[in-house]
Structure 1
């Protein structure tokens, strides 16, 4: 049996698609022949990502929108549908990078981090619904994070934000399941994105060791023996976007190299 993902000429929006996990997902969709729109704040990174997508021989489109506003979310969905003439897959990957503890976190930071990701996913999903219905169904995949399941020293905001995202997805998936629309969450762990070098240097300084030793200490947290990379996350997202995942909805799936040390059953 050959597992064809059947994503050719599908219209896909990947928010936060100009770098890191979002870019890896956008490029993977392009490799499968999908037309891809991406949102991001860094215009230079958006332009570079657009060129990389177009090199795959598909249509690419960049969107400048504030996804932490309702108007921005609605505009991103509309622009994608208008550009490609249809809308099939939403990958909600917009987020902020705020860490802290209860004592260090301000109320504004908490609201931005805890509700920012979930509210963006809710607004994007609401705006996408008419287009997905017009297409006879579709896929919504939200990128969460393993802090939803396991606490870290400064991961309180991301833990709260990602767990609320999962709760939204479970409720929403029940509502739209009969319409051939599936909604799922993919949880990445700490991943080797463009933020990794700074984090590696901080770890080396903290431990008083070399960069190689600091990297080994990170890798020790992963049973697969290495840190998960953005390209490791993309295949799960593509599978969930494909017809083969029609019976998978309302789920939170960790692509974490085995690093989440808990038993789910």
Structure 2
């Protein structure tokens, strides 16, 4: 199978840890040059150094995707450094784990602005470059709550559903330019973010972290949490020439935990 990712340029938001870092690592191993961004400079620098130590070509840019000017500067820096942008992995996220009554307007707006509007703005910024090349790949990370109701993750569900809908609409509009757009639905993925969520859920449910963890594991038929690499391998495929006819799709990587049947 020919991936044809050698020397293509991938821009990964939220690329300093967890799924984003795994995306960068696997795309880099497939031959791509990398641009990673995150809000926190120290964490981003550490990730960049780690990826460079693996022999990968990496540019890091501090950026907050909830700030339109940061997105413009990020894309401009990426294009100035590498001369092209071929792939966008929209991965940045920040959300509140809580029940409906405890979610303020600010909680809702924060999640919408970082994830849904951040993804829309990033796509808008990179698409002129992709269209001019008649080739591009956009992969939007949209958690499994886009399909399934989950306690304490209402903003996640609403925003991820929006990202999935945006994915389908955008795919229809840019396919003629050689650009594919797909969404990936991660299930429970073992990252620092999930560890923090488990602690929050334990407090909300008056249980121990171990008890909540065991309950979540029971929901997963394969009997384990997903790993960031599980998402990264799919993203590499979706970005490759091997997936050139796959667009407008939302693919779950959830170990079978999703109960919805998409048609």
For residue 94 of structure 1, report the CA deviation from its aligned partner. 1.3
**Structure 1 runs not aligned, ≥5 long:** none
Looking at structure 1, the residues matched to 194 and 124 of structure 2 have their Cα atoms a distance apart, in angstroms, of 33
1:178 and 2:176 correspond: yes
Name which of structure 1's ranges 100-109 and 226-235 shifts more when overlaid on structure 2. 100-109
Structure 1 Cα separation of the partners of residues 59 and 209 of structure 2: 42
After superposition, the CA RMSD in angstroms is 1.8
For residue 192 of structure 2, give the secondary structure of its aligned residue in structure 1: coil
How far apart, CA to CA, are the structure 2 residues paired with 1:99 and 1:214?
14
1:162 paired to 2:171:
no
Residue by residue over 1:13-70, the C-alpha shift from the partner in whole angstroms, topping out at 9 and shown as x without a partner, is 0000001111111111111121111011222211121122212323101111221122
Deviation at 1:74, TM superposition (A): 1.4
Q: What pairs up with 1:3-82 in 2 under 5 angstroms?
A: 3-82=1-80
Note the C-alpha offset of 1:210.
Answer: 7.8
Match of 2:241 among 236, 239, 243: 243
- CA separation in 2, counterparts of 1:224 and 1:99? 25
Counterparts of 1:1-265 in structure 2, within 5 Å, are: 3-201=1-199, 211=210, 214-265=212-263
Distance 2:208 2:80 in 1: 53
Shift of 1:105: 1.0
Tell me if the contact between 1:114 and 1:158 (Cα under 8 Å) persists in the aligned partners.
no
- Alignment partner of 1:21: what SS? helix
Deviation, structure 1 residue 204: 6.4
Give deviations 1:93-116, integer Å, cap 9, x for gaps: 111122333321111211121343
Offset of residue 11 of structure 1: 0.5
Question: Could you list the per-position Cα deviations for residues 179-217 of structure 1 after superposition, in whole angstroms to 9, with x for gaps in the alignment?
Answer: 100111101022110134444556667575683x65433
Partner of 1:184, secondary structure, is strand
Q: Are residues 210 and 91 of structure 1, via their aligned partners in 2, closer, same or farther at CA, if it must alter by over 3 Å? A: closer
CA contact (8 A) 2:99 2:154 kept: yes
Change (3 A) 1:199 1:104: closer
Secondary structure at the aligned position of 1:36 is classed as strand
Work out the CA distance in 2 between the residues paired with 1:155 and 1:164: 14
Q: Is the 8 A contact 1:13 1:37 kept in 2?
A: yes
Q: Shift in Å at residue 72 of structure 1?
A: 1.4
Rounded Cα–Cα distance in structure 2 between residues aligned with 1:102 and 1:225: 30
Q: Provide the aligned length of Structure 1 versus Structure 2.
A: 262
